């Protein structure tokens, strides 16, 4: 009986040591799946028609649709323009 306990104990200790020293492989590629391509996507400003990287722009939701602008100035002017359209 004692031998079985010792065997189990030894196994547990062995697993602990193994788990401590051998770390699970760090999945570097999966960790970097933050979609860097999307950040570099060039999109068009609906107000000034300029192309710019999406990550550098500002977004705004106008009438339930999301728009991306090259600057807050364009965003504000576009929103005002849309407001004027609607009266
Ligand atoms: Zn703009």
Successive 10-residue mean pLDDT values, the chain, 87 residues: 87 83 62 58 95 93 93 96 87
The CA 72 to ligand 1 mean position distance, Å, reads 8
Q: How far is the CA of 69 from the centre of ligand 1 (A)?
A: 5
Q: What is the pLDDT, as a whole number, of residue 86?
A: 81
Dist. CA 36 → ligand 1 center (Å) = 23
Task: Output the pLDDT for position 67.
Answer: 95
Position 76 scores a pLDDT of 97
Q: How open is the CA angle 42-61-47, to the nearest 5 degrees?
A: 50
Confidence (pLDDT) at 19: 77
pLDDT score, position 44: 95
Give me ligand 1 centre to Cα 76, in Å. Answer: 10
Tell me what pLDDT residue 32 has: 52
CA distance 65 to 58: 14
């Amino acid at each position: 009986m004692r031998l079985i306990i010792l065997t189990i104990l030894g196994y547990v200790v062995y697993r602990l040591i193994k788990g401590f020293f051998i770390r699970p492989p760090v999945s570097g590629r999966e960790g970097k799946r933050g979609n860097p391509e999307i950040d570099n996507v060039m999109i068009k400003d609906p107000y000034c028609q300029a192309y710019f990287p999406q990550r550098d722009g500002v977004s705004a939701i106008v009438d339930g649709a999301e728009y991306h602008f090259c600057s807050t100035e364009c965003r504000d002017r576009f929103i005002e323009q849309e407001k004027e359209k609607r009266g």
